[in-house]
Amino acid sequence: MVDPQLLQDVLGEALATGGEFAEVFVEDRRSTSALLDDGRIEEMASGRDRGAGIRVVVGETTGFAHTADLSPTGLRAASAAASAAALGGGDGVREVVLDSPSGPPSAVVDVLPSDVAKDRKVALLAEANEAARARDGAITQVTARYADSQRRIQIANSDGLLTGDRQVRTLFSVSCVASGDSGLQTGRESVGHTVGFELFDRVDVGDLARRAAERALTKLDAVPAPSGEIPVVVGPGGGGVLFHEACGHGLEADLIAKSASVFAGRRGEVVAAPGVSLVDDGTMTGEWGCYAVDDEGRPAQRNVLISDGELTDYMWDRLRARKEGRDSSGNGRRQGYRYLPMVRMTNTYLEAGNDDPEEIVAGTDHGVYVAQLGGGQVNTATGDFVFGMTEAYLIEDGQLTAPIREGNLIGNGPAVLLGIDAIAGDFAMGSPGTCGKDGQGVPVGDGTPTFRVSRLTVGGTAA
């Protein structure tokens, strides 16, 4: 990417005005996306974006500048702008000596998406469309999306670090609309991994489309969701977003530093029921949120946040970790070179337990079984949340009965952690996601086994 000697020189110049820490982040991203809607290709786009972001830190002040010009002139201009923003004034150069390139190896990709003809990608969309429509005549609309990205990064800093990574991600999703007496109902399925086009050697997009259609068709016979505080069982892979949004953000060190989290100052305390362990793991090979090194050059790690109910640690980026005199946890991420890094999750999940999933349901006299949670709203300062249920069923006398619709889960993340009374061993990761925070989006994964919350408010429309 950029010559290490040039990076070394730019870092030295960035520190010349009195900077305490300087960093150059270089990125080269290529992407392709295609969208089929109502039987027609509505979008087919490819692009490339490359550039560098430079930050200089002086005390509590960070100067940052970015440029799409990777020439010596462009990088030096960005470096000067970042230095001026951090401190201003001064001249000369401070010597920075970079180590040899280091860090864990990037993931191996069998088939780069850029080596695959666009016609093959479009053919996948057509196959999904045909499979979904063939499932039932009640399917009135099918939307299928293909996307891939190839991202190369290079990070150098004034501590002597020089490292990089290559991240290749491939995504496919199908959304179906079914029409019936209850109106229009939707169903969605998606798959995404940090792999190349070989994803489709193990994923049948026809099966994916049929599952999306089945979700929509099931809702045609759904009854209104109940209302009230009742036991809620969440199926494998279906509720990871709850832990990500209502708990995970509150365990990010930047929010902890601002006292904007209910978990601030609570390391070592019991914050969850016995058996509850929450992990953020950027090393899960092939998962949507994994990488070799984060966007500050720190190797990805498996970070245990809650262990058997006890809050053990937070997630850290380099800046917050330096202030605490500790190492980063490998959670410094950014959307791209135009952005500063911040503390972000990777693959966040509830660890498996020992209970039998069938017995969890059988032991629930009356409640709701959630196969898949949808979007929602969360107050990260308090953990209060509202999540939609995209696929859910009544539990009556220990049996799954009618599907339900138009229902929400309403509660509080910390309270949910304390209210979990059963955790099965059938762990599964959920759908790939994009986490938004302070105007930046990054790819993340989440997962759960089957688990039960003893009491949770369901907001439904049933009389």
Given this model, what pLDDT does residue 94 score? 47
What distance in Å separates the CA atoms of residue 198 and residue 252, rounded to the nearest whole number?
34
**Low-confidence residues in the chain, pLDDT < 50:** 89-94
Is 45 inside any structural domain?
no
Predicted TM-score (pTM) of the model is: 0.95
CB atoms within 10 A of CB 207: 12
Task: Tell the burial category of 201 from Cβ atoms under 10 Å away from its Cβ (0-12, 13-18, 19+).
Answer: exposed
Task: Tell the burial category of 38 from Cβ atoms under 10 Å away from its Cβ (0-12, 13-18, 19+).
Answer: exposed
- Angle (CA) 192 154 83, round 5°: 125
Phi, psi of 97 (to 5 degrees): -110, 120
Given this model, what pLDDT does residue 461 score? 79
Domain residues for 179? 113-152+162-221
Strand partners, 404: 223, 392
Phi, psi of 154 (to 5 degrees): -140, 130
Is 62 inside any structural domain?
no
Whose CA is closest to 329, among 312, 344, 311, 316?
316
Verify that 212 and 282 share a domain, yes or no: no
Verify that 138 and 283 share a domain, yes or no: no
User: Cβ(330)–Cβ(298) under 8 Å?
Assistant: yes
Whose CA is closest to 346, among 429, 460, 426?
429
Cα torsion 342, 346, 349, 351: sign: negative
The single-letter code of the amino acid at 263 is F
Verify that 267 and 409 share a domain, yes or no: yes
> End of a domain among 221, 250, 270?
221
* Total residues found in the chain within this entry: 463
CA neighbours closer than 13 Å in the CB half-sphere of residue 320: 22
Is 193 inside any structural domain?
yes
Which pair of structure tokens corresponds to residue 237? Answer: 């892979």
Look at residue 208 and give its three-state secondary structure.
helix
Whose CA is closest to 245, among 444, 94, 66, 427?
444
Strand partners, 168: 150
The string of DSSP letters for 281-345 reads ETT-TT-TT--SB-TTSPBP-EEEEEETTEE---B--HHHHHHHTS---S-EE-SSTTS--EE--
Q: Which residues, in sequence order, are CB contacts of 5 under 8 Å at separation 6+?
A: none
Verify that 446 and 342 share a domain, yes or no: yes
Verify that 170 and 251 share a domain, yes or no: no
> End of a domain among 172, 194, 221?
221
**Mean pLDDT in the chain?**
95
- Angle (CA) 265 266 268, round 5°: 130
Is 337 inside any structural domain?
yes
Verify that 254 and 188 share a domain, yes or no: no
Look at residue 180 and give its three-state secondary structure.
strand
Is 81 inside any structural domain?
no
Work out whether strand 310-311 and strand 332-333 pair parallel, antiparallel, or are unpaired. Answer: unpaired
- Give the containing element (helix H, strand E) for 4: helix 4-14
Is 429 inside any structural domain?
yes
Which pair of structure tokens corresponds to residue 309? Answer: 């109910």
Given this model, what pLDDT does residue 89 score? 45
Verify that 130 and 236 share a domain, yes or no: no
CB atoms within 10 A of CB 120: 12
Per DSSP, 102 falls in state: B
Whose CA is closest to 21, among 48, 74, 60, 72?
60
Q: Name the domain count of the chain.
A: 2
Given this model, what pLDDT does residue 158 score? 96
Is 75 inside any structural domain?
no
- List, in sequence order, the alpha helices (H) in 109-245: 118-135, 199-202, 205-220, 240-243
Cα torsion 3, 5, 10, 11: sign: positive
CA neighbours closer than 13 Å in the CB half-sphere of residue 90: 19
CATH, residue 178: 3.30.2290.10
Given this model, what pLDDT does residue 463 score? 55
Given this model, what pLDDT does residue 97 score? 65
Look at residue 392 and give its three-state secondary structure.
strand
Verify that 395 and 434 share a domain, yes or no: yes
Given this model, what pLDDT does residue 98 score? 65
Q: 98-142, pLDDT tens digit by residue?
A: 677 777 788 889 999 999 999 999 999 999 999 999 999 999 999
Verify that 313 and 187 share a domain, yes or no: no
Verify that 214 and 232 share a domain, yes or no: no
Verify that 126 and 256 share a domain, yes or no: no
Is 87 inside any structural domain?
no
Verify that 409 and 453 share a domain, yes or no: yes
> End of a domain among 221, 237, 272?
221
Given this model, what pLDDT does residue 96 score? 60
Whose CA is closest to 243, among 443, 361, 385, 354?
385
